[in-house]
């Protein structure tokens, strides 16, 4: 695995805990779906709930986890509270994972065609 610039090796225990927390936050399908919608811009809890056909309570629970992990943030806009991705590297990570899935799928397809 390529080393990232300015990342100490070995990782300090506090950094390991923060990284693990960030991965735990991403380890839930509903949160991935929420982030996919937030790629296009800010949305409120109600708007996310409508798009994802779930309750506002469910979205609030998941958005709080993403917020605590430093992945999303909110701002006040009158009576609205829109949420947005504040750490764009999460989109890079999702792109890397999707690329790996694509390569695996292509390899499986080639093996089946052989």
pLDDT digit string, tens, across residues 56-74: 999 999 999 999 999 999 9
pLDDT score, position 1: 46
Domain 13-87 matching CATH 2.40.50.140: the answer reads: no
3-state secondary structure of 57: helix
For the entire predicted model, the pTM comes to 0.84
Give dist(CA 113, CA 82) in Å, integer. Answer: 48
Q: Does pLDDT of 108 surpass 90?
A: no
Contact 63, 34 (CB under 8 A): yes
Q: pLDDT class for 50, splitting at 50, 70, 90?
A: very high
Look-up: residue for tokens 């917020």?
67
């Amino acid at each position: 695995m390529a080393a990232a610039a300015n990342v100490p090796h070995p990782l300090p225990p506090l950094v390991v805990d923060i990284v693990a927390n960030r991965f735990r936050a991403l380890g839930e399908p509903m949160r991935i779906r929420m982030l996919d919608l937030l790629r296009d811009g800010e949305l409120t809890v109600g708007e996310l709930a409508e798009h994802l056909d779930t309750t506002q309570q469910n979205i609030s629970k998941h958005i709080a986890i993403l917020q605590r992990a430093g992945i999303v943030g909110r701002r006040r806009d009158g009576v609205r509270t829109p949420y947005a991705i504040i750490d764009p590297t999460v989109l890079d990570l999702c792109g890397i994972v999707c690329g790996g899935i694509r390569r695996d799928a292509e390899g499986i397809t080639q093996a089946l065609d052989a």
